[in-house]
Amino acid sequence: MFFTCIAAFSIQAGANNVVITSVSTSGQDITAGANNAANFTNIEFDVNWDNSWRISGGANNWDAIWVFAKYKIETGGACTAGSTWSHCTLSTTDAHHTVTTANGVAATADVSSDGKGVFLYRTSAGNGSINWDDVKLRWRYRTDGLFDDCKVTVQVFAIEMVYVPAGDFILGDGSTTTIGTFRTPNVASSTFTVTSDNAITVGGGGAGSLGKSAVAQTGGSDDWTDAAVPVSAPTTVPAAFPVGYSAFYCMKYEISQQQYVEFLNTLDGTQQANRIVAVTAGSYMCNTAATGTPQNRNGVKCKNAPSGATAGEYACDLDDDDSYNETASDGLALACNWMTVADLAAYLDWAALRPMTETEYEKACRGGQGAGLPNPAVAGEYPWGTAANITAATTAGITNGGNVTETNSVANANICYAGSTTGPVRCGAFAGAATTRITSGATYYGIMEMSGNVWECCVIIGCAAGRSFQGDHGNGAVNSLGHADVNYWPGLNGNNTLTTQNTTYTTGVTGRAGWGWRGAAYLNANWVRIGDRDYCGQGWANQATTRDNRQGGRGVRTE
């Protein structure tokens, strides 16, 4: 028999409060023979979340959850017990993943081609709460090297996502003042339309190539220009680079502090030490070790210290009362700041997601331009589609601070920026039953906080290191040092050579080469417009190991 210890797991992140409960395994099938590759068992759980939707017109999209599972081998059975968590490989047949009791909302299961996870979403147009009981995911445990009688503990994780459909879309906002914004070469107040996944020529001013505003990028300029007499020769964004024409899923919210804690708690001690400086009991996540109080509203705390390869334990404790993971006060649903790009990459690799590109960022904000989709660019626009209507949340306006229901009392507040708060606010804090796209700060597709709160780290096309990105997804595991190790992710496998930085990253993603920042953060008054590319040039790769109180991020997945 396949014996399983059960670890119920829930994520209460953002306004929609995804909760996974009643995790178990059942229905082990060994009819193909002892330890046969075809053997499987079902991972079962219940899931619910609020404010789900599917739209058949206009944006023509839906929200979903990306569900994946991890296992740890326990004492007993034929497998050797261990302390580390590994990713469960699922059947790649959609029909093998089912919702037994849908409670009035029919469910669709769309498993990834690599078996690393399943997208679950409503089958038909509608909106409201999801309450699905006895969800069953078929786990091909033999693929993971386990025997029929191994004893394991299983955890199930869920991340809210938003579907961004395929189609044409516009890059650039047509403004003559937005820094570095994309455009038709040498044409002021213009934009550029992406109409396929084909390679794109950038620089040099040729017909059909992608240019950019002449407004200087103070944060380190691109290695190309659209000038008629180019500073550098034209180059190409390869077809393998995920420019955004094809459909993809984007995380609805930035990574929350609870999500980062749960990630840390599946790593060993060596890996944890590279993903957080808080490695002494009682210290908090920031840029300095042994800091004993929360910094900039980050409540991620070292509860028990890691020691060598022996894992420590992390928890949320924003109110610093040594009572951990309190939904009323410990900041579980606050966006996670103090992250490096290496931290972000590691989380995405672990979750079997991938980094977002800066062109996907613009599509996810602005919307498409294909059949059934709207949206020419608006000069100087914010993610909610206008160049106005920006209202900052304030620290004084924080209501139920640190609670999973935290809001802000400032009327029509839709962004956290310009130093109006001392740190990031709750994921989805500006959305409510009566809010609109503008008053909630949502993108065209319903993605939250794409400006302000924490920076959106994206793969850029301003340098060769970024352009070499091929869009591969994480495999559910980081390397022995806790670093992402996916082929040609920014900062890895030789794609990091720049004129200003020639370090070779041989141990995983440990540097900034090919990464850039979009959307600004809670401290920044500038850079909050969709088209602003001030921090998307090659010069930012010099900041290889910076841990910043403004930096967080989110991931995407193509399938």
Burial 31-61 (b: 16+ CB within 10 A, else e): eeeeeeeebbbbbbbbbbbebbbbbeeebbb
* Buried b or exposed e, range 116-154, using 16+ CB within 10 angstroms: bbbbbbbeeeeeeebbbbbbbbbbbbbeeebebbbbbeb
Q: What is the pLDDT of residue 541?
A: 54
Statement: the pTM of the whole predicted model exceeds 0.75: yes
Q: How far apart are CA 162 and CA 61, in angstroms?
A: 8
- Residues in the chain, total: 559
In angstroms, the Cα distances linking 296 to 262, 265, 285, 468 are: 20, 22, 10, 35
Measure the CA–CA gap between 515 and 5, rounded to whole angstroms: 40
Take residue 319 and report the two structure tokens written for it.
């109110």
Q: How many CB atoms lie within 10 A of CB 1?
A: 10
Cβ contacts of residue 434 below 8 Å, gap of 6+? Answer: none
Question: What residue ranges in 465-514 does DSSP mark as E strands?
Answer: none
pLDDT along the chain (559 residues), means of 10: 44 63 96 96 97 91 97 92 94 98 98 98 97 98 96 97 95 95 93 95 88 87 77 82 97 98 98 97 96 98 98 98 97 97 96 98 91 78 97 98 96 97 97 93 97 96 91 96 92 53 61 89 95 85 70 96
pLDDT at 17: 81
User: Which single residue is written with the structure tokens 């038709």?
Assistant: 184
Two tokens, residue 14 = 């953002």
What distance in Å separates the CA atoms of residue 197 and residue 106, rounded to the nearest whole number?
33
